[in-house]
Structure 1
Amino acid sequence: MPELPAFPFPSDHALRPSPRLGEVRGERAPVRVQLPYGAPAWLVTRYEDARLVLSSPAFGRDPRRAGLDEADVARSTPVDITAQTMVSADPPDHTRVRRFVFHTFTPRRIERLRPGTELIAEQLVDAMVEQGPPADLFEAFGLALPIQVICDLLGVPLGDRARFTAWTDMLVDADGLTPEEVLASIAEMNDYLAGQADLRAEHPTDDLIGALVRARIEGDQLSVDEMVNLVRTLLAAGHETTASQIPNFVYLLLRNGDYKRLSDEPELVHTAVEELLRYVPLIAQGSFARYVLEEIEIGGVTVRQGDQVLVELSAANRDGSVFADPETLDVARAENPHLAFGFGLHRCVGASLARMELQVALATLTRRLPDLRLAVPADEVPWHLHRFVRRPRELLVTW
């Protein structure tokens, strides 16, 4: 039997999907690939097929329902970091846990956070200007903005930011770590969050952790472990991805010359964010595996119960049957049904929050620093290549 191609496929730039993904999409049918850990998986790259896999009840996120052992789960990390979280649950458990945060992340509620987020962004730019150029946009702005917002939302001390960053870096980039080290770090984070919950049991608060503790005390069906795992997922996803995308977006806008256009045409910020979400992979490789619960056909290929399927969102978001001129970054693109936040039951619950933060970030930067430019040549920007998210190691800018 021939050796399966290793996945993720190599790319010539951190923010550019591998050309091999386009070739696979052109072949139309899913292909078998091998991730660093676990059993082989089918790789889906077409938009239509991606929506099918992400929404059909024939696929689940709990490997046990497909008869898979934990060691068989196709993954890029030594252990499945989504195990026992909302991300790896199926209905009815997924529905029950997700409803505890759904109302917090509605577009209307997120809009109430916009003024506070704008104030944080203004203060961060003030600090950059006071310090003077050059500045590392990732550290001074990209990381600082979402961590302050998510800390305020959850109610955890901003002073613990370094601990959060270390934990989430480990979750998304476990290269060189043993499974025992990864699990120990997760346990440390869980102990911290459980302690935060205990504090709120004695002294109630209005933040999200406080609301979850209050719901548990009042009898809703949410275990302590579920509550801790839910908050851990929100804390990690709520800052790591957005913190990476802010410098990624600014890098591309500066390199392509679109940053100046947004400064001149601020009304384009919202469409620019959607286009950048389509164009820049939110996750550096295929989404977490879906497990086949019943035989079904994808793109002319029959997948069987127990098989695993990866959806490569960056490839689906460049499907020419859906997006005109898909390889071009068009900040004025009007029709943009991208899948950056997923689709179906497991669509990112924090999508509205991420959108708002990215809109505020670009609007504030292009208004306050219209002459922003890279302080080093674009091809000399150093990149940090996580398994899941990719971003500049630092993005030195001047103005």
Structure 2
Amino acid sequence: MSEQPLHLPYADPAFVADPFPLYRQLREEGPVRRAVIAGGLEAWLVTRYEDGLAALCDPRLGSDIHDASDPRLLRQLPATERESMLRTMLRADPPDHTRLRRLVSKAFTARRVAELRPRVQAITDGLLDAIVRAGRADLVADFALPLPVTVISELLGVPTADRYDFQRWTDDMILQGPEPPDPAVADAAWQQMRAYLTGLLDAKRANAGDDLLSALITARDEERRLDEDELIAMAFLLLVAGYITTVNLIGGGIAALLAHPDQLRLLRDDPSLLPDAIEELLRYDGPVNPGIARFAREDVEIAGVTVPRGATVLVASAIADRDPARFADPDRLDITRRDNAHLAFGHGIHYCLGAPLARLEGQIAIGTALRRLPGLALAVPPGELRWRPSGLRGPERLPVTFTPGSVPDGTGPAALA
């Protein structure tokens, strides 16, 4: 293992477009490697599958940023509401994590998510109805983004018309490139987001609905299982996490299929492969890249390497999910792959709560798009696609062409209303 950390070259368009050759080199060089990642932060990359699996279950590696020794991690969060933003189950350890997760887990069980299938299908069809006649579209802006935003907004009870505001605030707060967001811009965005959520929660207190935010208000006001900061932080997390990775699963998944026409054709011919295809797209080039951060609460030995207390440990799921010791022919996209226990949703107590919903949306979105958009093809050369450089991987835009179609009677954009 090199004494000097490797700087991941986020400024290199070739790396951003295809980081996997360098990832393969890192994995072959050793199981744990110091690296400078986006935002100039130093982390210890865990690059192999079995080590990553163990690390995600190791209680000595926590999720609370307060355990990190690098002060820049806290400084990258909006200063005015730093502590509020950290009071989510994403950044909490037991017992707070257990308490917070229990409050919302029932809304994301496989059974409850399955009940959403007809509505997700209606939203999907409505979005496609709006573009099928044109024969061309940007499948990120026109489809992959509004679909999960609409679904999570309805689940939480957030007016869908407000999505442009909270998407903009989210973009201003979250790392989008190799450099951290401008602190003043991030602060302003969080203050606007908090003011919006506070007003929304007040409105629901006055007129509760059959939605998840109304249920959380009950847990806050009547059952005393949340304080006000936790309620706002939970609303923020569910709203943002409910769409931001699924956008990239859908957009990146369609892009991967277009780059592998044999797999695209196989899926068109046999839609029963959709569940396996979604798992393979998550493994092959999933939306979380390079991986999942944890913080060493004490000195921890990982694969024979001592990681010091306070260090940021990045379980590099995007690298581990192509580990040949775990996956046969890992650099090949194979939608018939069955043994596919990838780490794209994490593992252990922080396993992604929204995984069933993301899978459902991915299956419906990609399957319906392939069925209703015959002749689907990129409208630009593959090399012209621009990919998000860090953290959340997916195409920024996905311009495509297809054979124009018609809108079935009785459907159309009204399905989104």
Give 5+ residue unaligned stretches, structure 1.
none
| Equivalent of residue 265 in structure 1, options 236, 261, 270 | 270
Q: Name the counterpart of 2:169.
A: 167
Q: Name the counterpart of 1:19.
A: 21
- Under a length normalisation based on structure 2, what TM-score does the superposition of the two structures give? 0.88
| Equivalent of residue 290 in structure 2, options 285, 290, 294 | 285
Contact 1:16 1:280 in 2 (8 A): no
Cα distance in 1 between the residues matched to 2:45 and 2:77: 18
Helix, strand or coil at the partner of 1:331: coil
Cα distance in 2 between the residues matched to 1:194 and 1:76: 23
Q: Name the counterpart of 2:411.
A: none
101-110 or 376-385, larger mean C-alpha shift: 376-385
**Percent same amino acid among aligned pairs?**
40
Give 5+ residue unaligned stretches, structure 2.
404-417
Q: In the alignment, residue 53 of structure 1 is paired with which amino acid?
A: A
Q: Name the counterpart of 1:235.
A: 239
Going from structure 1 to structure 2, the CA distance change for 1:39 and 1:120 (only over 3 Å counts) comes to closer
| Equivalent of residue 86 in structure 1, options 89, 103, 124 | 89
Q: Is structure 2 residue 94 aligned with structure 1 residue 96?
A: no
**CA deviation digits over 1:56-80, x for unaligned, max 9?**
111111133x3x4571539987888
Deviation at 1:294, TM superposition (A): 3.0
Going from structure 1 to structure 2, the CA distance change for 1:23 and 1:38 (only over 3 Å counts) comes to closer
Going from structure 1 to structure 2, the CA distance change for 1:139 and 1:73 (only over 3 Å counts) comes to closer
Displaced runs of 4 or more, over 6 A: 74-81
Cα distance in 2 between the residues matched to 1:91 and 1:276: 32
Q: Name the counterpart of 1:111.
A: 114
**CA deviation digits over 1:291-334, x for unaligned, max 9?**
11233321111223222211111001001111000000001101
Contact 1:197 1:209 in 2 (8 A): yes
CA RMSD after TM alignment: 2.4
Deviation at 1:217, TM superposition (A): 1.9
Cα distance in 2 between the residues matched to 1:275 and 1:77: 33
Q: Is structure 2 residue 352 aligned with structure 1 residue 352?
A: no
| Equivalent of residue 198 in structure 1, options 184, 199, 202 | 202
Q: In the alignment, residue 132 of structure 2 is paired with which amino acid?
A: V
Cα distance in 1 between the residues matched to 2:143 and 2:158: 20
Going from structure 1 to structure 2, the CA distance change for 1:145 and 1:180 (only over 3 Å counts) comes to same
Q: In the alignment, residue 270 of structure 2 is paired with which amino acid?
A: E
Going from structure 1 to structure 2, the CA distance change for 1:182 and 1:25 (only over 3 Å counts) comes to same
Deviation at 1:211, TM superposition (A): 0.7
Q: Name the counterpart of 1:368.
A: 372
Contact 1:41 1:307 in 2 (8 A): yes
Q: In the alignment, residue 217 of structure 2 is paired with which amino acid?
A: V
Q: In the alignment, residue 6 of structure 1 is paired with which amino acid?
A: H
Deviation at 1:37, TM superposition (A): 4.7
Contact 2:141 2:397 in 1 (8 A): no
Going from structure 1 to structure 2, the CA distance change for 1:34 and 1:163 (only over 3 Å counts) comes to same
Cα distance in 2 between the residues matched to 1:75 and 1:19: 32
Helix, strand or coil at the partner of 1:294: coil
| Equivalent of residue 338 in structure 1, options 336, 342, 362 | 342
Going from structure 1 to structure 2, the CA distance change for 1:270 and 1:307 (only over 3 Å counts) comes to same
Contact 1:11 1:18 in 2 (8 A): no
Q: Name the counterpart of 1:45.
A: 47
Cα distance in 1 between the residues matched to 2:350 and 2:224: 22
Q: Name the counterpart of 1:138.
A: 140
Going from structure 1 to structure 2, the CA distance change for 1:383 and 1:303 (only over 3 Å counts) comes to closer
- Under a length normalisation based on structure 1, what TM-score does the superposition of the two structures give? 0.91
Cα distance in 2 between the residues matched to 1:168 and 1:46: 32
| Equivalent of residue 252 in structure 1, options 243, 248, 256 | 256
Cα distance in 2 between the residues matched to 1:69 and 1:302: 16
Cα distance in 2 between the residues matched to 1:281 and 1:52: 20
**CA deviation digits over 1:237-277, x for unaligned, max 9?**
11121112212111111121022221111111111110000
Cα distance in 2 between the residues matched to 1:84 and 1:37: 22
Q: Name the counterpart of 2:325.
A: 321
Contact 1:151 1:157 in 2 (8 A): yes
Helix, strand or coil at the partner of 1:271: helix
Deviation at 1:178, TM superposition (A): 2.4
Deviation at 1:378, TM superposition (A): 2.2
Q: Name the counterpart of 1:153.
A: 155
Q: Name the counterpart of 1:396.
A: 400
Going from structure 1 to structure 2, the CA distance change for 1:7 and 1:377 (only over 3 Å counts) comes to closer
Q: After superposition, where does 1:113-132 map in structure 2 within 5 Å?
A: 113-130=116-133, 132=134
Helix, strand or coil at the partner of 1:24: helix
Contact 2:378 2:398 in 1 (8 A): no
Q: Name the counterpart of 1:71.
A: 71
Contact 2:374 2:402 in 1 (8 A): no
Q: In the alignment, residue 60 of structure 2 is paired with which amino acid?
A: A
Cα distance in 2 between the residues matched to 1:75 and 1:281: 28
Cα distance in 2 between the residues matched to 1:395 and 1:74: 37
Cα distance in 2 between the residues matched to 1:298 and 1:147: 38
Q: Name the counterpart of 2:408.
A: none
| Equivalent of residue 218 in structure 1, options 213, 216, 222 | 222
Cα distance in 2 between the residues matched to 1:347 and 1:196: 28
Contact 1:260 1:366 in 2 (8 A): no
Cα distance in 2 between the residues matched to 1:219 and 1:77: 30
Q: In the alignment, residue 135 of structure 1 is paired with which amino acid?
A: A
Q: In the alignment, residue 341 of structure 1 is paired with which amino acid?
A: F
Going from structure 1 to structure 2, the CA distance change for 1:72 and 1:369 (only over 3 Å counts) comes to closer
261-270 or 7-16, larger mean C-alpha shift: 7-16
Cα distance in 2 between the residues matched to 1:311 and 1:193: 32
17-26 or 216-225, larger mean C-alpha shift: 17-26
